[in-house]
């Protein structure tokens, strides 16, 4: 079945550092790929998505490129802020079963310090 | 436009009691998904519903769990005879009517945190 693997956290960075959170997936066909962010005590918010190979999703300075050859969708940001501290989830949807259910990775906690 | 609403936000039950979780999708959304997040884990899909229909319940435990999305009112996830292992955060997500071959964004509610004593 489908699966998503993320790097384990927590990831601790200083403000303005470069961020990479690795994500690889296993799926049949051509899934859509997502990054969601969860702030403490809140639900998940869509950060960005890509629906086909070589697409780049971007939002709020974050970006990720759908790499079919390496089955990856790594999240990057050039300069993180304290307000980026949250848990980040990589997810995929293969559109099977008549809907778009999401398969999530286990999440990576990011802590940004001054 | 109000987001996805879930209530209660926190629910405490004793073993053997029933838990009833409610989800009101965003206005205009007719698709609802339920996910469960166990401590220190990612979210796991449970069930996908449209109005008055269960489309995919492949992630639902076979016993004690049920879900509905009536024509009027919120979607309900019901857990009968709760056990400690049911303690988790339960998230609802909604999306608009989906066209074949597309992937619509799911919008998540704040979740219900269930604690079973």
Q: Is the pLDDT of residue B100 over 60?
A: no
Q: Residue B39 and residue B2: Cα distance in Å, rounded?
A: 28
Per 3-state DSSP, what percentage of chain A is helix, strand, and coil (rounded to 5)? 5, 50, 45
Sheet with strand A62-65: strands edge to edge: A19-21, A75-77, A62-65, A56-59
CB-CB under 8 Å, A41 with B58? no
Q: Residue B6 and residue B92: Cα distance in Å, rounded?
A: 7
The span from the first CA to the last CA of chain A, in angstroms, equals: 41
The minimum CA-CA distance between B108 and chain A, rounded to whole Å, is 6
A93 reaches B (C-beta below 8 A):
yes
Decide: residue A22, CB within 10 A, 0-12 exposed, 13-18 middle, 19+ buried.
middle
Give the DSSP H or E segment for B54: strand B53-56
Residue A49: closest CA among chain B residues belongs to which residue? B105
pLDDT tens profile B50-91: 988 999 999 999 999 999 999 999 999 999 999 999 999 999
pLDDT confidence of residue B1: 52
pLDDT tier at B96, thresholds 50, 70, 90: confident
Which residues 62-91 in chain B show a CB within 8 A of chain A? Answer: 91
pLDDT tier at A59, thresholds 50, 70, 90: very high
């Amino acid at each position: 079945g489908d699966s998503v693997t993320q790097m384990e956290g927590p990831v601790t960075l200083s403000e303005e550092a470069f961020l990479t959170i690795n994500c690889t997936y296993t799926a049949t066909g051509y899934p859509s790929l997502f990054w969601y962010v969860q702030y403490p005590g809140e639900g998940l918010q869509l950060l960005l998505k890509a629906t086909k190979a070589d697409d780049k999703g971007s939002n709020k300075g974050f970006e990720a490129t759908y790499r079919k050859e390496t089955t990856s969708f790594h999240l990057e940001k050039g300069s993180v802020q304290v307000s980026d501290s949250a848990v980040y989830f990589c997810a995929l949807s293969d559109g099977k079963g008549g809907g778009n259910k999401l398969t999530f990775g286990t999440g990576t906690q990011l802590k940004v310090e001054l | 436009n109000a987001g996805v609403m879930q209530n209660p936000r926190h629910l405490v039950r004793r073993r053997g009691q029933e838990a009833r979780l409610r989800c009101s999708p965003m206005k205009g959304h007719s698709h609802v998904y339920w996910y469960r997040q166990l401590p220190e884990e990612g979210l796991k899909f449970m069930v996908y519903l449209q109005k008055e229909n269960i489309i995919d319940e492949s992630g639902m435990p076979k016993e004690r769990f049920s879900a509905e999305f009536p024509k009027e009112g919120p979607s309900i996830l019901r857990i009968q005879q709760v056990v400690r292992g049911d303690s988790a955060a339960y998230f609802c997500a909604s999306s608009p009517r989906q066209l074949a071959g597309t992937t619509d964004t799911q919008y998540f509610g704040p979740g219900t945190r269930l604690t079973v004593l």
